[in-house]
Structure 1
Amino acid sequence: MFRDDFRIQDYLRIIKKRQWVIITFLTIVVISVTISSFLRAPVYKSTARILIEKETPNVLSFKEVLALDTADTDYYQTQYTILKSRTLARAVLEKLGMMEQARQDDDSSFSVRGLLTSLITALGLRQPPSESAQIRAREEDAINNFLNNIITIEPIKGSRLVDVSALSTNPELATQIANTLVEVYIQQNLEAKLAASKDAVGWLADQLTIAQQKVADSETALQQYKEQHGIISFEDRQNIIMQKLSELNTAVNNARIKRIAIETQYKQIQEYLALDDTAPTTEAVKKLETISQVINNPLIQQLKVELSNLETELSELRKKFRSKHPNVIALRSQIASVRERIDAEIQRIIGSITNEYELALAQEQEMTTALEDQKREALNLNQKAIAYGVLQRDVESNKRVYDALLQRTKETSVTEQLETSNIRIIDRATVPNYAIAPRKKLNIFLSMVVGLVLGTLLAFFFEYIDNSIKTPDDIKQYLDIPFLGFIPKVSSADQDNMAVPKPKLHPVDTVVAVAPKSTASEAYRSLRTNVMFSSLEHGPIILVTSAGPTEGKSITVANLGITMAQSGSKTLIIDCDLRKPRMHKIFNLSDHERGLTDMIANLGTNGTKITVKRTKIPNLDLIPCGNTPPNPSELLSSERTRLLIQALSKKYDKILIDSPPVNVVTDPVILSQIVSGIIVIIRAGETGRDVIRRALDQLRDVKAQILGGVLNGVDVQRDNYYYYSYYNNYYYHEKEDADEDAQSIGGKVQKMLQTKLTSPQKKDS
């Protein structure tokens, strides 16, 4: 799977790694498309152009008869659908004779459906279809092929033009199909209009008869209503009633105003008279004299002047005579007479006002009663007017419908004879001179693009399903262990440049010794440095193992031991793979019968010294496996094995132990308890994540000290951009003398090892 921090270098590495997948897929696609393009029959395209005018059809619907507009926004889309309709396709095929040919052709057995039908029939699962069913199936196939593979409809944007095209391997047939299609389309369009016009004329005639009967019925109902209510001229009568109602309303208002004006004086008089229930008192009389009609009365004014004069004269006489003097008595009598006349006149005025008020009140009530009667008559007339209006509007509405139907009937009858199609041919199809398909150059180019894209996707798919460890980042991310280094494959160039093999050394398995300046040798030296620094805090005993077989652990042990010996460290290699030992083959040891198993058995005797073998590499010793024991796990888990390795660790600077794979046997888990650290060898691009995780889990369960992982078998030439920085380091070191470099590194590491590991016991030994 892909990591979240995938870089462009990772994509390039995958492409180069899977380049043969991409090239193979690309080649297959290009060859297939090329062969198909050259073998495919040429296809010709012939196009006819037509103009479709949007029009208001003469064939009218019921809503159009009632003068209601209809929306026709989908008109053109409807026409395009008609051009691709099965009915039109069948008519064209019939006219060209292609439908009859399809009925007679019996090639269904070569189609997929024909083969399935034949197989099902042969197995007895279904009865064979009848001849008529087979003919119908051929007709449907011909129509489907015509609509899906032959005809194309292309509206020209921004115009009412439509291109009708036909495809065929025969250019003349393509032209004939395109022209026939537009001709049949125009003919069917015109026939549909004529048929609709005829239907419309008949429908309008029926509706006209119905409308005429409705007019007669509504007029009869109106006349009967007028006779029933005695209405001759409904409008004149209504005007008279409304005029009289207006006059009565005005009279009522005037009578009310008059009554209100008299009522004020009347109520004032009644209020003054109410001061004394028996007779008006002097105070009441004085208040009555303040009434405007009393004040403005000429007689009262004259009498008051006369009264004033008499009272003045009386006042003068009383100064001269006593009250019983005849002149005084006479003058008093005259004054009383004048006052009586004033009171009489006031009473007359009061009576007049009372009579006038009562008359005004009676007139107002009479006018109000007459107004109410007139209102009731007006309301009754309005009710009759409503019913009359309904009947009259019904008559008028029916007449309008009748007139409209009559007009449309005449128009439709005329236009039926003048009907023309709104579709016409602008350009007829012509015989094409060039084929439109196959476009060989374009097909080949597109096949290259598609093949390259799909091949790349396929390569990434293979990479996606590849569950192996491929890069140092995979070790860090998926295994959670340090990355110690990678070992490249030994290239053919490195093999050609190898020196003459040293005696008793395998040329390829000991590449550090026979080709010290090769890329692989530099990788082993880099690994040596990383291992030395990683093991400083743990000890000199290092176990090298792997998850499964053929990971390259034995070769790694051999070359790592050689580099350590070249650096000046006294190194010992122990072959603890008691089931499939290989170290004696790598170093070409002939006397390998005695080895580790014998040392364990003879621990404490002189046989131990005899078992340690000297190699041709200075500072490098080897303990081969020896005789294969029947119980390797029990032997390695014994106390003798632990004591032996501890004893050897006091005599050597570094001890490398080659063990079997972890997932195969339990030997590495047992040995992990007596070593200082473990190096796990991982075959790049082959070892699965789950496999190596299972091995690491076994080691972690016993709390083994894992120094890190080594990625073995890396194809540096293929993944050179990914390992560019590593390769540059190797290339730089190739310019230096290998022995000199080894001595320098070995000296530094040796000094650190001595400081860290040297003990008084070792010095004494």
Structure 2
Amino acid sequence: MTPDASQDATAVGAPRPTFSFSAPESTDTTLSEALVVLRKRRWVLIVAIILGVLGGLYRGFTEPRLYVATGRIQVHSSSSASEYKMNVATAAMGGDEDSQTKLQSEVSILQSDSLMASLARELNLVNNPDFLETRDPIQHKSMDDLAVREGVIKTLKGNLTVALVPKTDIIKISYSSLNAKLSADIVNKLIADYIQRSYESRFASTQRVSQWLSGQLDDLKQKVETSQQRMLDLQRKLGVLGVDSSHDEIAAAIEDLQKAAGVARLQRIVSEARYRLLAGMDPDAMEGSIDIPMNPGINNLPPPALTSLRQSLATAKSNYAMLEGTLGVNHPQALASRAQIDELSKEVTAEQNRLLEQAKQNFELAKSNQTQTESVLEAQKTAAYKMRDDLVEYTLRQREFESDRTLYEGLLQRLRSAGVEAGLESMEVDIVDQAIPPARPTMRSKSFDLLLASLVALIIGVLLAFLLENLDTGLRSIAEIEAITELPSLAIIPRSRRSTAEQLAGMTTVERNINVLTQPKSQFTESFRSLRTALLLSMSEGREPKYILFTSATPSEGKTTAATNLATVMAQGDARVLLIDADLRRPNVHHRFGLAGKLGLSTILSGSSTLENSVQNVPEVPNLDVLASGPVPPFPTEMLSSESMSQLLAKAGQMYGYVIIDSPPILSVTDGVLLARQSDITVLVIRHGKSSKPVVRRARDLLVRSGAPLSGIVLNAVDLNSPEYYGYYGYSGYSYTSVDSSGWESKGAPTEHRNGKKGNR
């Protein structure tokens, strides 16, 4: 590490240093970022506010002097006639509107198109210059023209204000125009037309209701007569005098039939159960299972004949068994006993069949009895239901008749008084104040207009500033660049100051192009010293980098400036430095140092020269040698990827302490990617405000995929007066003002004030 590097060690806090301005996301950070945007776009805000102030002043001094005339009317609650119309029109609904709803309705009526058109015709507003606010009125125009009518109505509504006085039933009507008398005339005429139309509308409405009611009475009278006739017909049909006649006989008959049907149903169930039991059981078990009662409440025991036969059969079987055991099966007594058993068995079977047939007949009889009983019951019910339906219809007809008669009598009474109410309906609108021509125009507050215009302009300016910031794709913030590239920032190179013609006259080519020589204590030079320190500390395990490559995404981002100035700063120490111009297509390094370009990298790689006779020393920097690009070769990429290039770099590493390579832009050609793989450190140079996010991201991805040792980024040509970097070099303790031999002072270099803040000398 060079001695100068040790001086800058405090500026680097880690092997891979970064000058990051990012902070944890918080409300303060968001607010500070917004303030940075507003500071950067302050001219947008200033212009917007100036335009707003000018607009407010223009409006305040050029706004026409308007005269506002105001009148007031009071709208009373509904009169008896109004209640009458509501009751008649809504029949059963009835009731009044909410008072506020009615008042709002009247406000809408006062602003209706029909009322506006009538007012305009009566006052001939279409040819009134004060109404049209012009010195050249439209003459001989008629309100029958739809376009003219629409324009006049729109103008009237635009200058008319109709509003309710809070917590009252008073409506305030105001109109503004260039003529005081015209304003008062329009308000008074509007009130008069409204009252007249209100009266006419109510009278016509009452008359229409009365006419409708007269027609309805005829229909209602016919309906009452029809209902009465139907009710009488039903009375004759039912043979009753009213709906309260008794029908106990029908009910008693139905009740008896229901009981009989229940008994028949029970007999059918029992008979069916006995029959199915006998039909499905073992004949030998029939004797103990035929005691199901045939009728409710009767216990039918098994028939005596079957019981006697079974007992005789059992006795015969017992005797046969005894004779068979003592005399043998062929003994005459045994054979006789066997014949007796067969005879008794036949009789038992015959008796069982007879009992089964008897059970079946009983079941069929019970089933038939149930069917007949239920049939009679249903017939009786149908007759009862029919009579009940007739009674219900009779009741409904009677109620319909009574309702129609009541409605008819009520409407008839109302009809008799409708004509009287139509003529006696009192007016619901009273004039509280007539409009009088105002003595002086209404003046708006100029200060209020100015304040409002300034506020609106400020809001528009802020929105426009953020819009421009979002549309700006150039990278300016270190935090933003680090977030996109995921790389540390190695240095921030400020924008260099342009020297005057007088200053340039006394400089050599090297001094004119290499600013670190002419401004040793400037911000520009200090940034390259910080970059040198960051690069020397960026290698792991304490190993210093030998090959340092500078590249950029696109041309004109400052990679050559970074390479030449860093090489000069590093050569100002004890180490020897070789600067190689590897941009074989657009070489520029030898022009910066005022050197010849006939021999260089291309001639070495083609075998026309050697490293020793191709390098050129910079007289102003003894430890700095420059290897120019040489003549432009036909195949630059093949040369840079050849074995000769690797051998050249190896030899240069043996001869020099540091080898700095200025490569072509990596998005233009692949030369930079090939060279980056042979370097120890690759630095991506980004120009402040020029490089866009997609371009930088693509360049970074290309280097990472190629396996290049990408160490970080350098942000070049930064305006330190911009809001993003305000105070970046403002730390105290150092003076960056330098005075050269010609006596000129580095302008724009901040110096420490006693209060610790930076300033420009």
Work out whether 1:155 is the aligned partner of 2:159: no
Structure-to-structure mapping, 1:369-408, within 5 angstroms: 397=403, 400-408=406-414
Distance in 2 separating the partners of 1:643 and 1:666 = 20
Q: Which residue of 2 aligns with 1:485?
A: 491
Aligned equivalent of 2:97: 72
Residue 546 of structure 1 deviates from its aligned partner by 0.9
Matching of residue 187 in structure 1 with residue 192 in structure 2: no
Which residue of 448, 453, 462 maps to 2:459?
Answer: 453
Aligned to 2:36: 13
- Equivalent of 1:94 in 98, 121, 128: 121
CA deviations on 1:542-584 (whole Å, 9 max, x unpaired) are: 1111111111111111221222223433222222222332223
- The alpha carbon displacement at 1:714 in A equals 1.2
The separation in 2 between residues aligned to 1:220 and 1:539, in whole angstroms, is: 122
Match of 2:751 in 1: none
Structure-2 residue corresponding to 1:137: 147
1:430 aligns with 436
Instruction: Write the distance in 2 (CA, Å) between the matches of 1:636 and 1:139.
Output: 84
Looking at structure 2, the residues matched to 735 and 574 of structure 1 have their Cα atoms a distance apart, in angstroms, of: 31
Equivalent pair of 2:545/2:681 in contact (CA under 8 Å): yes
1:389, 1:610 → 2: CA distance? Answer: 129
Q: Between Structure 1 and Structure 2, how many residues are aligned?
A: 570
Contact 2:582 2:662 in 1 (8 A): yes
Name the SS for the 2:163 alignment partner.
Answer: strand
> Are residues 1:60 and 2:94 paired?
no
**Shift of residue 221 of structure 1?**
8.4
Question: What residue is the counterpart of 2:282 in the other structure?
Answer: none
Q: Distance in 2 between matches of 1:568 and 1:181?
A: 100
* Cα deviation, residue 217, structure 1: 7.4
Determine whether 1:196 maps to 2:201.
no
Structure-2 change in CA distance of 1:698 and 1:205 (3 Å):
closer
Shift of 1:171: 3.1
For 1:666 and 1:500, how far apart are their aligned partners in 2?
A: 37
What does 1:664-703 correspond to in 2, within 5 Å?
Answer: 664-703=668-707
Alignment partner of 1:647 is 2:651? yes
Whole-Å separation in 2 of the counterparts to 1:512 and 1:157: 79
Cα offsets for 1:583-637 (capped at 9, x unmatched): 2332233x443333344455885x7246332331242222233333343333323
Structure-2 separation of matches of 1:671 and 1:691: 20
Out of 426, 438, 443, which is 2:449 matched to?
A: 443
Q: Distance in 2 between matches of 1:503 and 1:522?
A: 21
Q: Whole-Å Cα distance in 1 between the matches of residues 48 and 23 of structure 2?
A: 26
Q: Give structure 1 stretches of 5+ with no counterpart.
A: 112-130, 246-380, 740-765
Equivalent residue in structure 2 for 1:522, among 526, 548, 553: 526
CA drift at 1:189: 0.6
Report the TM-score, using the length of structure 2 for normalisation. Answer: 0.65
Q: Which residue of 2 aligns with 1:361?
A: none
Report matched runs for 1:261-340 at 5 Å.
none
Please say if residues 522 and 738 of structure 2, whose CA atoms lie closer than 8 Å, have aligned partners that are also in contact. Answer: no
Q: Name the CA shift for 1:133/1:156 in 2 (closer, same or farther; >3 Å).
A: closer
Alpha-carbon distance in 2 for matches of 1:584, 1:220: 127
CA–CA separation in structure 2 for the residues paired with 1:499 and 1:136:
78
2:469 aligns with one of 453, 456, 463: 463
- 1-side partners of 2:470 and 2:137: how far apart? 41
Aligned-residue offset at 1:204: 4.2
| CA–CA distance in structure 1, aligned partners of residues 238 and 548 of structure 2 | 131
Letter in 1 for 2:584: L
Q: Find out whether 1:169 has 2:178 as its counterpart.
A: yes
In structure 1, how many angstroms separate the alpha carbons of the residues matched to 2:224 and 2:638?
A: 122
Q: Distance in 2 between matches of 1:10 and 1:222?
A: 91
Amino acid of the residue matched to residue 600 of structure 2?
A: G
> Aligned AA for 1:15?
L
Residue 523 of structure 1 deviates from its aligned partner by 1.5
Q: Which residues of 2 match residues 573-652 of structure 1 at below 5 A?
A: 573-589=579-595, 591-601=596-606, 608-609=612-613, 611-652=615-656
AA of the residue aligned to 1:165: S
Distance 1:214 1:732, change over 3 A: same
What RMSD in Å do the two structures reach over aligned CA positions?
Answer: 4.5
Decide whether aligned partners of structure 1 residues 100 and 423 sit closer, same or farther in structure 2, where only a CA change above 3 A counts: same
Deviation track 1:455-481 (CA, whole Å, cap 9, x = no partner) reads 221121122122222121122211122
**CA distance in structure 1 between the partners assigned to 2:391 and 2:514 by the alignment:** 127
Q: Distance in 2 between matches of 1:389 and 1:614?
A: 128
1:219–1:508 CA distance, 2 compared to 1 (3 A): same
Q: 1:47 deviation in Å? A: 2.7
Cα offset, 1:414, TM superposition: 2.7
CA contact (8 A) 1:201 1:412 kept: yes
Decide which moves more: 632-641 or 671-680: 632-641
TM-score, reference length from structure 1: 0.64
Structure 1 residues 409, 630: closer, same or farther in 2, change over 3 A?
Answer: same
Q: Does 1:571 align with 2:577?
A: yes
User: Alpha-carbon deviations, 1:144-184, whole Å to 9, x = none?
Assistant: 3333x122322233332222222323333222222222221
Residues 33 and 447, structure 1, Cα contact 8 Å, conserved in 2: yes
Look up the match of 1:531: 535
Kindly indicate which of the two structures has a greater share of residues assigned to helix.
1
Gap change, CA 1:582 and 1:403, over 3 Å in 2 = same
**Which amino acid in the other structure matches residue 136 of structure 1?**
L
SS at match of 1:620: strand
Paired with 2:137 and 2:703, the residues of 1 have a C-alpha distance of: 65
1:249-297 CA-to-partner distances (Å, cap 9, x unmatched) read xxxxxxxxxxxxxxxxxxxxxxxxxxxxxxxxxxxxxxxxxxxxxxxxx
In structure 2, the residue matched to 1:732 is 733
> For 1:60, what is the secondary structure of its paired residue?
helix
Shift in CA distance, 426/573, structure 1 to aligned 2, threshold 3 Å: same
Question: How many angstroms does 1:534 deviate by?
Answer: 1.5
Q: CA offset at residue 497 of structure 1?
A: 14
Q: SS where residue 192 of structure 2 aligns?
A: helix
Distance 2:234 2:59 in 1: 91
On the 8 A contact 1:64/1:70 being kept in 2, the answer is no
Conservation of the 8 A alpha-carbon contact between 2:223 and 2:404:
yes
Residue 711 of structure 1 and its aligned partner are, at CA, apart by 0.6
Distance of aligned partners of 1:491 and 1:433 in 2 relative to their CA distance in 1, 3 Å threshold: farther
Superposition deviation, residue 738 in structure 1: 12
Residue identity opposite 2:148 in structure 1: R
* Aligned position for 2:667: 663
State the 1:737 CA deviation.
10
Answer yes or no: is the 8 Å Cα contact 2:227–2:400 preserved in 1: yes
For structure 2, the 5+ residue unaligned runs are: 1-21, 250-386, 741-761
**Percent identity, aligned pairs only?**
29
- Displacement of 1:716 in angstroms is 1.0
Q: How far, CA to CA, are the matches of 2:23 and 2:190 in structure 1?
A: 59
CA contact (8 A) 1:166 1:174 kept: yes
Q: Report SS of the residue matched to 2:537.
A: helix
Amino acid at match of 1:531: L
